[in-house]
Amino acid sequence: MSFSRNEMTVFGIGIIVIGIIVYSALFTVDQRQQALVLQFGQVIRPVDEPGLHTKLPFVQNVVYYDKRVLDLDPQVEQVILADQIRLDVDTYARYRIINPLKFYQAVKNEDEFRARLSNVVNSSLRRVLGNVSLLTVLSSDRDTIMADIKKEVDTEARNFGVQLVDVRIRRADLPEQATQATYARMRSERERIARQRRAEGFEKSQQIRATADRERTVLLAEARKQSEILRGEGDNIAYKIYAEAAGKDPEFYRFYRSMEAYKKGLSNDDTTMVLTPDSEFFRYFRDLHGAERPPTTQRR
C-alpha cells in the first residue's frame, strides 16, 4: 500500500498537530512546586501532587507556586519608639504558600504579594515598637516583641493563603543625625561630669591644703613654743651654772670672760682695734692676774 505525496503531507501535519495537542494537554509539577489549572482566568482545580498531569489543551493554562520557604527582605523602615527615639529597623521574613487557590485569588503573583507583605511587616513593626522603649528593644524582651510582630503579620498573611514562618529584626540603628546628636549629648554629659569631678577635686585639694597649712602652722607654733621654753630652761640652767661657777672662783670667771672676748675680737685677720696700752681690754696682757691700773690717756 502506497501513499501519495499529498497524503504523506497531510499525515505529517496530522502527527504534528496531535503532538502539539498532546504537549499542550500535559504538564508536570515538580516536587518543590504546587500548581493551579486555570481556564480563562478562573481556577479549575489545584494540583498539589508532583508528577505528570493533564489539562484541556489551548483552553487551560497552569500557574506554578513554590512549596518551599521563601524569603522577604523589606526596605529599611524608620520607626519612632515610645521614648520618642527614632530607629532605622532592617527586618527579614520567611513565609510559605499553603493555599495556592487563596493566594491566587488575593494577589495573583508573588511580586504583588511581596509588596503587600512588606507593607504589613512595616506596619506591624511601627505599631509594636511604638509602644516600647529603646532599652526594651535592646533587652531580652526583644524575643517577646518579635513574637508579637510575628503573630500580627501571620494573621494578615493567612488572608493571602500564606503561613508566616518567621520574622526577625536584622539590625536596628539610630539615624545618622540622631547618632551624631546622641554622641554630642554623650560627649557633653561626659564633659559636664569631668568638669564637676575636677571642681570637686580642686575643692577637696583646697580643703586638704588648707587643713595641712593650718596643721603646719599649729605644729610650727607648738614647736617654736616648745623650743622657746626649752631654750629658756637651758639658758636658765646655763645662767645658774655660770653664776655658780662665778661664785666659786670670780677671778677665773673674769679671766674666762676676757679670753672669750679676745677670741671673738681677734678671730679675723683683718681686725683692727685702736686702744691705749693701759686699756681694760688688755688687762690680762699686762698682768696674768688682771690687776687693774688707772688709765693715763684717753681712748681714741
pLDDT at 245: 72
Closest Cα to residue 257, out of 247, 235, 242? 242
pLDDT at 194: 92
Task: Spell out the residues 6+ positions from residue 208 whose beta carbon is closer than 8 angstroms to its own.
Answer: none
Domain range spanning residue 132? 70-173
Q: Which amino acid is at 116?
A: R
- Tell me, yes or no, whether 82 and 118 share the same domain: yes
Residue 125 corresponds to which cell in the numbers above?
A: 513593626
- Tell me, yes or no, whether 77 and 140 share the same domain: yes
The per-residue pLDDT string of the chain (300 residues; one tens digit each, 9 = 90 and over) reads: 555 677 778 777 888 888 888 878 899 999 999 999 999 889 999 998 999 998 888 888 999 999 999 999 988 888 888 888 888 889 999 999 999 999 999 998 888 999 999 999 999 999 998 898 888 887 888 888 889 999 999 999 999 999 999 999 888 887 777 667 777 888 898 999 999 999 999 999 999 999 999 999 999 999 998 988 988 888 888 878 877 776 776 777 777 777 777 677 666 666 666 666 666 666 666 555 555 555 444 444
- Tell me, yes or no, whether 82 and 167 share the same domain: yes
In a domain, 96, yes or no: yes
Which of 66, 87, 114 corresponds to the end of one domain?
66
- Tell me, yes or no, whether 94 and 77 share the same domain: yes
Q: Under a CB-based contact definition with an 8 Å cutoff, are residues 88 and 126 in contact?
A: no
- Tell me, yes or no, whether 151 and 99 share the same domain: yes
Please measure the distance between the N-terminal and C-terminal CA atoms of the chain and give it in whole angstroms: 185
Residue 299 corresponds to which cell in the numbers above?
A: 681712748
- Tell me, yes or no, whether 86 and 17 share the same domain: no
Burial 101-111 (b: 16+ CB within 10 A, else e): ebbbeebeebe
DSSP one-letter string for 86-111: EEEEEEEEEEEE--HHHHHHHHSSHH
pLDDT at 255: 73
pLDDT at 276: 67
In the 8-state DSSP scheme, what is residue 75? P
Q: Which amino acid is at 184?
A: A
In a domain, 209, yes or no: no
Count of domains in the chain? 3
pLDDT at 300: 40
In a domain, 222, yes or no: no
Residues in the chain: 300
- Tell me, yes or no, whether 128 and 102 share the same domain: yes
Question: pTM of the predicted model, to two decimals?
Answer: 0.55
pLDDT at 96: 94
Query: What is the C-alpha to C-alpha distance for residues 107 and 66, in angstroms, rounded to an integer?
Result: 15
Query: What is the C-alpha to C-alpha distance for residues 79 and 143, in angstroms, rounded to an integer?
Result: 18
In a domain, 142, yes or no: yes
